[in-house]
Amino acid sequence: GAVVSQHPSWVICKSGTSVKIECRSLDFQATTMFWYRQFPKQSLMLMATSNEGSKATYEQGVEKDKFLINHASLTLSTLTVTSAHPEDSSFYICSADPENTEAFFGQGTRLTVV
């Protein structure tokens, strides 16, 4: 199957700093990628849809100025958590579907804000 890779797998940052998470499609091009957030023992919640060459579409309640998404190429989408706070600590995971048949997920990024 297709491979989606996220980096880093885990990161610890101080409150008030920014963290960038990368999501790459390794063997296919992705015009659309999805970003989800998963709090401990909870479900995956869609944060935004990342569109190559255009602005991301954010879900209701997700602050676009806090969670900056850039989809600058057909193989890379980045999520930047700005001015991070402890409540932003979560598991962030991206996905893409190269042939509109099955979603492939990155391995996820565990963010801890201290």
Partner 1 sequence: GENVEQHPSTLSVQEGDSAVIKCTYSDSASNYFPWYKQELGKRPQLIIDIRSNVGEKKDQRIAVTLNKTAKHFSLHITETQPEDSAVYFCAASENSGYALNFGKGTSLLVTP
Is the previous residue joined to 8 through a cis bond, with omega within 30 degrees of 0? yes
Chain centroid offset of residue 114 CA: 20
Indicate the residue among 61 and 86 with the shorter CB distance to partner 1: 61
102 lines the binding site for partner 1 (CB under 8 A)? yes
Window 52-91: contact mask with partner 1 (x via CB under 8 A): ---------------------------------------x
Q: Exactly one of 69, 79, 81, 93 binds partner 1 (CB under 8 A); which one? A: 93
Indicate the residue among 33 and 84 with the shorter CB distance to partner 1: 33
Q: What is the 3-state secondary structure (H, E, C) of the chain?
A: CCCEEEECCEEEECCCCCEEEEEEECCCCCCEEEEEEECCCCCEEEEEEEECCCCCEECCCCCCCCEEEEEEECCEEEEEECCCCHHHCEEEEEEECCCCCCCEECCCEEEEEC
Minimum distance between the CB of residue 32 and partner 1, rounded to whole angstroms? 8
107 lines the binding site for partner 1 (CB under 8 A)? yes
Window 16-55: contact mask with partner 1 (x via CB under 8 A): ----------------x-x-------xxxxx--x------
